[in-house]
Amino acid sequence: MLIRFTVDNFLSFNSEQEFSMNAGTATTFEDRVSIMPDQSILKFTALYGANASGKTNLVKAIDFSRKIIVDGINYLNTNEKHYKLKEENLDAPTKFEYDIKIDDKYYGYGFSISLKDKKILNEWLVELKKSGDSLIYERESASKYLEHEIKFENIEEKNKFDLQIELVNDIENVLLISEVSRRKNNPSALKILEKIYNWFRNDLVIIYPNSIIGDMTNIFKKSDDRLVELLKYFDTGICGFKLQPSSIDQVQQYMPKVVFENLKNSLENTRKMAFESKEEDKNIMGKGILRLENHLYEIKFNKEESKMHEVLMHEILFHHNDSDITFAFGEESNGTRRLIELIDIIYNDSKNRTVIIDELDRSLHPQMTIKFVETFLKYSKNLITQLIITTHESNLMDLKMLRRDEIWFVERDLELNESKLYSLEKFKVHNTKKVAKDYLIGRYGAVPVFKDFDSYLGESNANTKI
């Protein structure tokens, strides 16, 4: 679970800004707060702000730092990612830091980088304890300094780790946590590094308005009618779905030749991984969803020994109003398609994920947006998923629905034009307050500030009829 994120010198963030999922002093809806021995963690946050305030830049900061951890900095475009309105910031370090919960323990992990040179400057990992933080490792690239408190079972394990340190110290654009986690057969002392790396890789999910979301693997099950019930509840008109046999050759007509060849290669690589994996992993790796612009396919690999090269494909088609007539994915409205892509967040209660959706309300009717959040909140007491959204939907800003600490703002400072983060919690408003109304009139900031339009046109032009 995400507890806290800080960013410094990235896009519109000049000075260090902190976003927190720690529960505040609000006492409402306590049943959907994850209460731990040392702290209470929120499962939902809505982030508000004017256009160009920095909402999406916060999402980009989390996404960018995640990609450095998972893929490395070499593959990223770091040009002009610093706060550009201060010339000295080009040479200043950019910092990202996370507090997260893994296996009922809390960890602080972060790093600072030079965007200009694509270099890792510092990296650190600590276990966060009530009695005081406990260092796991701290690294400074320039001096090739690394201090650690990792306890190995024998000298051989320690020597292997020391060798990894030497290799990483010779490469200034690689994070130690990434290098260790990519290696197989790490000793048990390094498993926590793998777990933290895998949280970033698998459980921190970033969704932009135009993202094509592929993780719908588990929602199209004939034995489970929750999907259909939810789609009925959201008034999509869908009353059922069917899996119609298809083939890889039929898919070819919907994509360019190069893309199709890449798809075939990807399927073959996935098939190999499925059959080389442990038995308990094959159910996951042997199945997937292919999402094209207008079509949705379920893909499975035949596990019979004699047919293990066979790819089984079914197109997912939808029924409306109890009719036998079917509709392809592309024939559904943009809002319904978006809802189908996002519904796994509510539907799948087995994943320990932190999902961040930029502009949840894009393509969704205002009432659909509210119902989606309401449904997530209803189920959140039984979910281990966190949901963080950016939105302009002010009707969500209702203290009969959300806690004060679940409402956050991003405001662009007028003097320095930098983004600032803060929570409604800081205003200590009463639970009966109509916060949406107060927000729209500017009481909490983070709204557009419009100047007199006539002053831009000039007096003569202002009197001209348009």
pLDDT tens column, 231-286: 999 999 999 999 999 988 888 888 888 888 887 787 777 767 666 654 444 444 46
Distance in angstroms (rounded) separating the CA atoms of residues 164 and 194: 14
290 and 386, same domain (yes or no):
no
Q: Containing domain of residue 325, as a range?
A: 237-332
Q: What is the pLDDT of residue 283?
A: 43
315 and 438, same domain (yes or no):
no
Q: What is the pLDDT of residue 260?
A: 82
Residue ending a domain, choose from 282, 310, 332: 332
Is 218 within the bounds of a domain? no
| 395-452: pLDDT as tens digits | 999 999 999 999 999 999 888 899 999 999 988 888 888 888 888 888 888 777 666 6
247 and 300, same domain (yes or no):
yes
Q: How many domains in the chain? A: 2
Distance in angstroms (rounded) separating the CA atoms of residues 235 and 335: 11
Is 216 within the bounds of a domain? no
Contact assessment for residue 289 and residue 214, using Cβ atoms and an 8 Å cutoff: yes
Q: Where are the beta strands (DSSP E) in 190-330?
A: 204-207, 238-246, 287-291, 296-301, 311-320, 326-327
365 and 394, same domain (yes or no):
yes
Q: What is the pLDDT of residue 79?
A: 93
171 and 72, same domain (yes or no):
yes
20 and 164, same domain (yes or no):
yes
67 and 190, same domain (yes or no):
yes
Q: What is the pLDDT of residue 363?
A: 80
Residue ending a domain, choose from 332, 355, 383: 332
75 and 171, same domain (yes or no):
yes
105 and 79, same domain (yes or no):
yes
356 and 451, same domain (yes or no):
yes
Of residues 439 and 193, more confidence is placed in 193
Contact assessment for residue 229 and residue 357, using Cβ atoms and an 8 Å cutoff: no
Contact assessment for residue 361 and residue 338, using Cβ atoms and an 8 Å cutoff: no
Model pTM? 0.88
199 and 319, same domain (yes or no):
no
Interval 84-102 mean pLDDT: 95
Q: What is the pLDDT of residue 278?
A: 47
Q: What is the pLDDT of residue 443?
A: 80
109: β partners: 98, 125
Interval 52-65 mean pLDDT: 95
Is 227 within the bounds of a domain? no
328 and 359, same domain (yes or no):
no
Distance in angstroms (rounded) separating the CA atoms of residues 430 and 170: 56
